A = this chain, B = another copy of it.
């Protein structure tokens, strides 16, 4: 689809507006016009009929571990320690590059199907493969080689070098659709000295830092005991969390940490379903938003969710605080949609995506709104309170179709599902 095209007769919704019947023109990877009613005819342009569809920005998933898609459903309803010790770590130990690749491919299928156009992926296996597969799939991604730094100084140095090199290679991808990030796993799995060094190297290479932080109450307590400060405050003070860094989870944070995150321009990846399912807690989303901290949404891995559907994250993010605070307006659909689209794109370094607006990358999806659970009226709430990933029919990234009418165009779905099943059967702990 190298010809320019125009989507007509379509309902257009992004975080800031809604057009009940309009058009979107796409040329050279970009949205070149958006309007109400009928577009002017242009010679040689293809037409796509968007009737009974909603056209919205592609969703952005700012936290995940794609190889772990293979561990979906391996362990539900277990306390975190048992979940890790008895199920996840033994299963992860059995993963290798090949099975990790099968998990990443499965994740990519699921993400495209559910309307995600851009994602973050941190893991330690099959990194080159993940980059190649993402390029091939047509998606956008911020990729990182995760680092747990329990080893010797020498091992730490090697890990860091490999991680930096990998992130650099992603930054200079052929397609321009990849970004690289530096991801030390967490303050409790990386010594402070290692975090400092990681930050220095990341800055040197102009790479953003991402880190799991303040996920559980236990982590925060132990960090305070050891360092005299809770982890977010500590890493802010250390200059490890700075402008453009991504703090993942940030469930247990205090008021001064909220101010610190805001003042330092740190992004937060809010992972409501994973935080609930693992019993980690509930991040203070309304407070994060009141502090104007740029919050985006992440699914975390399918092992703690159990899907990669950002629509589910939107609904959960919107729902839980209304009940908790006993205020139906504790959250609103437009803000939630902003988190799942433009905030996500910004958090991952894609400053030109997330709106349906002239000059933005043509990253958008279609929702089939001609279904019983969507009618009789369409608005921002439809996307947050009624839609799921299973309502997505078409996905475009930089104008290129990755899915049309429910059919994946850039990856071999059947083969990928088959390989995921086979890889899962080989995992020793899956019995």
Q: Determine if A72 and B376 form an interchain contact, defined as CB atoms under 8 angstroms apart.
A: yes
Known: A79-B329, A327-B79, A373-B389. A379 touches B73 (CB 8 A): yes
Q: Determine if B424 and A372 form an interchain contact, defined as CB atoms under 8 angstroms apart.
A: no
Contacts of A385 in B (CB 8 A): 73, 76, 277, 305-307
Query: Which among A17-25, A107-115, A147-155 touches the partner chain?
Result: A107-115
Instruction: Please pick, from B276, B413, B425, the residue contacting A323 in the complex, using a CB distance under 8 A.
Output: B276
Q: Tell me the A315-343 residues at the B interface (CB within 8 Å).
A: 315-316, 319-320, 322-333
Contacts of A70 in B (CB 8 A): 376
Closest chain B residue, CB of each to CB of A377: B73
| Distance in Å: Cβ of A2 to nearest Cβ of chain B | 28
Q: Determine if A376 and B332 form an interchain contact, defined as CB atoms under 8 angstroms apart.
A: no
A83 to B417, CA, bound (A): 45
| Distance in Å: Cβ of A391 to nearest Cβ of chain B | 7
Contacts of A333 in B (CB 8 A): 76-77
Closest chain B residue, CB of each to CB of A421: B376
Q: Determine if A278 and B322 form an interchain contact, defined as CB atoms under 8 angstroms apart.
A: yes
A382 to B77, CA, bound (A): 12
A280 to B322, CA, bound (A): 8
Interface residues of A (CB under 8 A from B): 70, 72-74, 76-80, 83, 106, 109-110, 113-114, 216-217, 272-273, 275-282, 305-309, 312, 315-316, 319-320, 322-333, 370-373, 375-382, 384-386, 388-391, 413, 416-417, 420-421, 423-425, 430
Contact sample, A vs B, 24 pairs, CB 8 Å cutoff: A72-B377, A73-B378, A73-B382, A74-B377, A76-B384, A79-B328, A106-B375, A109-B372, A110-B372, A110-B373, A216-B326, A217-B326, A272-B323, A275-B323, A278-B322, A279-B325, A281-B326, A306-B385, A307-B373, A316-B319, A372-B416, A377-B430, A388-B390, A390-B391
